[in-house]
Amino acid sequence: MIILGIDPGSRHTGYGVVRHDGGQQHLVEYGVLHLDATDDHELRLKQIYDRLTKVIERCLPDECAIEMPVYGRNPQSMLKLGRAQAAAMLAVLNRQIPVTQYTPKEVKKSVTGNGNASKEQVWFMVRSILTITDDDPRLGLDASDALATALCHAHRQSRGGRTQTYKDWSAFLRENPDRIS
């Protein structure tokens, strides 16, 4: 099974693709979509959609795991983050790929054993699990968070459990009527 992990952001969206073969995970690809902060927010959302679509076409994932925004101090920032997540989910769901959402604590606990781990601890464990060399400049915190999300999903699949999964966009809307305005 090939899993696309996504760490959505309105300025930097991390992605990571992992092949899950039984109990083994193998790195396929990872990176960060750097979006120009001077562009209108709507244009950045389209870029997230378009660029993730290219990743999907190139890697052909079977499933997607995405980190969900949970809380924040600034409502405007949370709104932008939620929109970035929606743009990413739409790119995936339009290709009929099931999406599962995970909280940051679930992801951190799955990869490090500690739901309150720092981003640097997650980065270290992702490098270790997937044997990524220290000198690879592409593995920043956004990409490592996306890979950690894919690994979290792989671990969950190994145990037979699931969180929130949607087979298509209409299923997401049915399960989340409060998110429609």
- Cα separation, 68 vs 72, in Å, equals 12
Hey, which residues are catalytic here?
7, 67, 142
> What's the rounded mean pLDDT across residues 73-81?
86
Encode pLDDT of 142-157 as tens digits. Answer: 999 999 999 999 988 7
Q: Where are the domains of the chain?
A: 2-179
Q: Count other C-beta atoms under 10 Å from residue 174's C-beta.
A: 10
DSSP 178: G
Encode pLDDT of 83-96 as tens digits. Answer: 999 999 999 999 99
The phi, psi pair for 107, rounded to 5°, reads -65, -50
pTM: 0.84
Helix (H, G, I), strand (E, B) or coil at 162: coil
CATH number corresponding to 2-179: 3.30.420.10
